[in-house]
């Protein structure tokens, strides 16, 4: 029990290390990479704090060297789901009643463990298991996840301090932010280790118990996050770790009467199917409560340039936004609208960068791009490239090369299209493919309409211009086109606490991870009015004679 109105430290974003040649962090990370490459890890389920080995295993491989196995992970099944649900119920009351500052201490300690002792462990696992370059791993697996832990604690404190201050003569009203009644199902993606850590921990921080199903292609880094949380003092059973096939586990978990919410990042189609199943179950009185549905799904990030845009800044934003982490970001720059007067200069700069960028093994710190995540993703992206090569309205301007002999490598590819609604301008590709529509300079107003109408998504977008009136006009016209809008910057790289992340339309529920708004979704507020002088006469003044 607290005897003080406790306030947590004001969070400051973790500063990325640069891993320059000769630096201590470079040497430590290289040593950890070598260790993990020579180690075979067997990853169990973790239910109620205990390791569970089902015997149903799948390999953990390096996407940039798919013959190299880093380990195996055990897959969950119906029986292990039942065990996990039972654990969630068993520990729920004690976890809910744990003072918030004690919950906060666990996650603040996890942040410190990650900032120091386990920084290189998690970075190396992300690099090897998810084929992230050193800088992409550092800003994701280390900095962003540290930020989530620290800032979410601050946001939790902010929420609990939000009270009703209206005074009445004889009563006191206060607000409690209870956890939801039931367990949260966290389904996490492969592309951001930080998201994998945030989706189960944000609800847990607010007093909920969680079943966590990590992406099958990022089990290694997710497993290490689980180990960090346990060392930080997270009680057994608060988060239960169940890898496995989403198709196998998802329906079993979604059909549980105790489901109180889902925290999801993944494909739009998967999210639609989950919503449909939840809706069916609600209609058939399966659940005890209406489940909260929080999801961040697809994107088709745009870059819209005006004729006065800075060509160098625009070109770097396009290249980094489209090709960092192989374009496997829902926020990636995937479609661009460039005025004819700028295109030749932009094309030359993009071609130069594509020629200089190294695509290969991320253990080589000179590498700009690793491999795409797996064979299925590789085949899908190659399909778009091959279709563009055969198209009358699309042309491969840069790249178009790929090779899966050793790793799932696809080089930076730029397509120019004469049709602003061609397939690669509309559909999410989730790979290193940027499609450009070159427009006549005087058609800027029409192009703004195209940007807004072309894609079903509304996640991220960028506007490049110098004229303030143009920037204002574009921001107003594209009012609903992106949940995260950038001016003279790439559409990727949202920072916790600085740019809360999320989009609408078919990009998700826009509950803004990296802000207090997301944490609020994992609460069920209770208003308590206490009357210190309740009436003892049922009549009102107007009734008296």
Helix axes 78-96, 246-254, angle to 10 degrees: 50
Judge contact between 357 and 369, C-beta under 8 A. Answer: yes
Q: CB-hemisphere CA count at 13 Å for 255? A: 8
Residue 298 φ then ψ, to 5°: -80, 175
Per-residue tokens: 160:
């609990």
In 207-230, which positions are buried (b, 16+ CB within 10 angstroms) versus exposed (e)? Answer: bbbbbbbbbbbbbbbbbbbbbbbb
Q: CB-hemisphere CA count at 13 Å for 77? A: 8
User: Would residue 296 show up in a list of annotated catalytic residues for this protein?
Assistant: yes
Residue 439 φ then ψ, to 5°: -120, 155
Judge contact between 254 and 213, C-beta under 8 A. Answer: no
What one-character DSSP code corresponds to residue 98? S
Q: Of 32, 330, 397, 428, which residue is the catalytic one?
A: 330
d(CA 412, CA 398): 7
Sequence-ordered strand ranges (E) for 306-384: 333-339
Per-residue tokens: 361:
């093994």
Strand 50-52, strand 45-47: pairing: antiparallel
Residues 6+ apart with CB under 8 A from 285: none
Residue 136 φ then ψ, to 5°: -65, -35
269: alpha, beta or left, given left = phi > 0 and alpha = psi -120 to 50? alpha
Q: Of 296, 324, 397, 428, which residue is the catalytic one?
A: 296
Q: Tell me the catalytic residues.
A: 296, 330
């Amino acid at each position: 029990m607290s005897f003080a109105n406790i306030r947590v430290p004001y969070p400051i974003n973790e500063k990325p290390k640069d891993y320059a040649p000769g630096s201590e962090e470079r040497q430590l990370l290289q040593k950890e990479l070598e260790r993990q490459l020579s180690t075979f890890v067997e990853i169990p389920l973790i239910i109620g704090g205990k390791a569970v080995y089902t015997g149903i295993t799948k390999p953990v491989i390096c996407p940039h060297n798919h013959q190299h196995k880093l380990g195996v992970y055990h897959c969950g099944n119906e029986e292990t789901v039942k065990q996990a649900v039972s654990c969630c119920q068993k520990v729920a009351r004690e976890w809910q009643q744990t003072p918030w500052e004690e919950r906060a201490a666990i996650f603040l300690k996890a942040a410190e463990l990650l900032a120091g002792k386990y920084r290189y462990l998690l970075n190396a696992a992300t690099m090897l298991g998810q084929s992230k370059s050193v800088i992409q791993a550092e800003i994701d697996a280390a900095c962003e996840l540290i930020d989530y832990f620290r800032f979410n604690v601050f946001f939790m404190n902010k929420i609990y301090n939000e009270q009703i201050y209206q005074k009445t003569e004889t009563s006191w009203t206060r607000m409690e932010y209870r956890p939801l009644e039931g367990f949260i199902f966290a389904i996490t993606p492969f592309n951001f280790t930080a998201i994998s850590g945030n989706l189960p921990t944000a609800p847990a921080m607010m007093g909920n118990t969680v079943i966590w199903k990590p992406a099958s292609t990022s089990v290694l880094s997710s497993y290490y996050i689980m180990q960090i949380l346990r060392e930080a003092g997270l009680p057994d059973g608060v988060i239960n770790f169940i890898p496995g096939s989403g198709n196998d586990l998802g329906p079993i978990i979604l059909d549980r009467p105790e489901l109180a919410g889902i925290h999801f990042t993944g494909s739009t189609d998967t999210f639609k199917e989950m919503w449909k199943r939840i809706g069916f179950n609600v209609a058939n009185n399966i659940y005890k409560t209406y489940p909260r549905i929080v999801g961040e799904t697809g994107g088709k990030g745009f870059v819209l340039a005006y004729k006065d845009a800075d060509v160098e800044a625009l070109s770097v934003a396009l290249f980094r936004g489209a090709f960092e982490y192989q374009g496997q970001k829902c926020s990636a720059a995937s479609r661009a609208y460039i005025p004819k007067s700028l295109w030749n200069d932009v094309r030359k700069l993009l071609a130069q960068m594509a020629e200089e960028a190294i695509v290969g093994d991320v253990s080589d710190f000179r590498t700009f791009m690793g491999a795409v995540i797996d064979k299925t993703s590789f085949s899908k992206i190659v399909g778009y490239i091959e279709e563009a090569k055969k198209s009358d309205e699309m042309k491969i301007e840069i790249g178009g090369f790929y090779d899966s002999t050793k790793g799932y490598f696809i080089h930076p590819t730029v397509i120019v299209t004469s049709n602003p609604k061609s397939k690669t301008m509309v559909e999410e590709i989730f790979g290193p493919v940027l499609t450009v529509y070159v427009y006549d300079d005087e058609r800027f107003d029409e192009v703004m309409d195209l940007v807004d109408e072309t894609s079903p998504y509304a996640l991220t977008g960028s506007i490049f211009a110098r004229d303030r009136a143009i920037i204002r006009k574009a921001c107003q016209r594209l009012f609903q086109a992106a949940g995260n809008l950038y001016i003279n910057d790439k559409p990727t790289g949202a920072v916790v606490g600085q740019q809360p992340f999320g989009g609408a339309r078919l990009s998700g529920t826009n509950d803004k991870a990296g802000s207090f708004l997301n944490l609020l979704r994992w609460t069920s507020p209770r208003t308590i009015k206490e009357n210190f002088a309740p009436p003892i006469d049922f009549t009102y003044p107007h009734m008296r004679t």
